[in-house]
Amino acid sequence: MNEPAVLVQDLQKTYGVKRAVDGLDLRVERGEIFAVLGPNGAGKTTTVEILEGYRKRDRGKVRVLGTDPEHGSRGWRSRIGIVLQSADDHAELTVREMVTHMSTCYPSARDVDEVIAAVGLTDKAKARTRQLSGGQRRRLDVALGIVGRPELLFLDEPTTGFDPEARRSFWDLISGLRSDGTTVLLTTHYLDEAEHLADRIAVVRDGRVVALDTPAAIGSRAQQEATVRWDDGTRHEQRTATPTTLVADLAAHYGGEVPGLEVHRPTLEDVYLGLVGEAA
């Protein structure tokens, strides 16, 4: 159990003359939520499909739960859960029928009603899939992904199309899975989602990992200069590596409150755009 949930070394995948993945390295520890960010065409989807066993690699070492996904057995597949960006629609089946059917594919599935309750669909258990809203359908997708008690859950753009309230509820659900010991590998275009959920973030560009760290530290974010602004009738702005010292000096100068004070550190979006450049 000391081995990581995912280990990738020098992963490469080429389509014709296009190298989609170009020497990518990745390590996801057990029990963490790990987010992969990157612009379209960066190699995220290809990498995740290789990890899931859907696509063969050209070169490199890949281990998922200790197994090469290209040779994953049925037993190995029962240990992972996959929530795709889009799923086949069984419009006439009810929520309970869908989850029950999926549960039969696993040797030690969770209780169907417990899973439905965990994703907040108890009131919709008898509703047909076609009657669900986009957010409710996405919750059903997660129910199908977790009913088999996966050790590792892959989430591909899980909250695309969600309204803000549904996204927040979904975040609580994913955090709860991590608390239960599930490892989660998440791809998303929402930077606030990655910042809220992830223990660590990898930024991928041109098929390589260009930064990997916690949301607070990625891209040397914590060490970057802050911008301090204040307005005493004239608008002032100063960049500094020691904003606390500057604010204390300003407070002494103004005898207490600093008029119009604002302190801004680089956001995750600032750092991300700096890492991926115009490709974003």
Of the three residues 165, 194, 215, the one that is the final residue of a domain is 215
If one counts every other C-beta atom within 10 angstroms of the C-beta of residue 88, the result is 5
Residue 97 burial (C-beta neighbours within 10 Å; 0-12, 13-18, 19+): middle
Domain that holds residue 47: 6-215
Which positions ≥6 away from 202 have C-beta within 8 Å?
26, 34, 35, 36, 37, 209, 211, 212
Q: At 37, phi and psi to the nearest 5?
A: -115, 155
CA angle 242/243/247 to nearest 5° reads 125
Examine residue 20 and state whether it is found in any structural domain, yes or no: yes
Determine contact, residues 7/30, Cβ cutoff 8 Å.
no
pTM check: above 0.75 = yes
Of the three residues 159, 183, 215, the one that is the final residue of a domain is 215
Kindly state the average pLDDT of the residues 61-69.
Answer: 96
Examine residue 201 and state whether it is found in any structural domain, yes or no: yes
Of the three residues 190, 215, 240, the one that is the final residue of a domain is 215
Which positions ≥6 away from 241 have C-beta within 8 Å?
223, 225, 226
| Mean pLDDT score across all residues of the chain | 89
pLDDT digit string, tens, across residues 87-141: 556 778 999 999 999 999 888 898 999 889 888 899 999 999 988 887 788 888 8
Residues 51 and 24 both lie in one domain: yes
Q: At 18, phi and psi to the nearest 5?
A: -95, 120
Residues 160 and 87 both lie in one domain: yes
